[in-house]
Amino acid sequence: MKKSILLFIIVLGFLSCKNDSNVETDLTENKTVKVESTNEVVKEQSTAELKAKLTSKGYQIFDYVDEKTQDTILMQQYFIAFLKRGSIRTQNEEEAAVLQKEHLAHLGKMYDLGYADISGPFGDDGDIRGITIYNVPTLEMADSLANSDPMVKAGRLAIEIHPWWAAKGFPLR
């Protein structure tokens, strides 16, 4: 089990590095940015364009002005899925290992398809085993994607989903 968790953390490390850190973004203005690795100039979307795009796809958004910086911050609704210890944990070690491999593949696929922005296990042995943050427009879509996880289908994990708001384009630090 410890090897599976370590493998999961390593996979997440690689996935989290996938974002291009060479691109500067400022969602409050319509500006151009330089991509250092190719010296290519890319035009970023204005906040208005981004808001229109997100709204047309069904995302819930709002913006506010940061009192300290006076920047307009665009907030987007995401969905945080808590992966909880499921009621069916009778699988033998081999079956559990196969399910873990399928679980990691599922999470990787969700990330690659742009449905999930980050996933990871918790570091304790509590009932909440980990989280996934889904970047999809509806709770129903997040619930469907989370429940298609092979670990959930097998009953080894259960899902609890909540709407969650975060500033659009702000990285984890």
pLDDT tens digits, residue range 129-156?
999 999 999 999 999 999 999 999 999 9
- CATH classification (class only), 76-167: alpha beta
Residue type, 64: Y
Stronger pLDDT, 154 or 31, i.e. the higher one:
154
Q: What are phi and psi of 104, to 5 degrees?
A: -65, -40
How far is it, in rounded angstroms, from Cα 78 to Cα 96?
30
The Cα–Cα gap between 38 and 42 comes to: 11
User: In the numeric block, which tokens belong to residue 153?
Assistant: 């289908």
Q: Please classify residue 17 by burial: count the beta carbons closer than 10 Å to its beta carbon, then call 0-12 exposed, 13-18 middle and 19+ buried.
A: exposed
Condensed to tens digits (0 to 9), the pLDDT of residues 51-81 reads 999 999 999 999 999 999 999 899 999 999 9
b/e sequence 84-110, b meaning 16+ C-beta within 10 Å: bebeeeebeeeebeebbeebbebbbeb
Domain boundaries, given as residue ranges, for the chain: 76-167
Mean pLDDT across the chain: 82
Angle at 123 between CA 120 and CA 128, to 5 degrees: 70
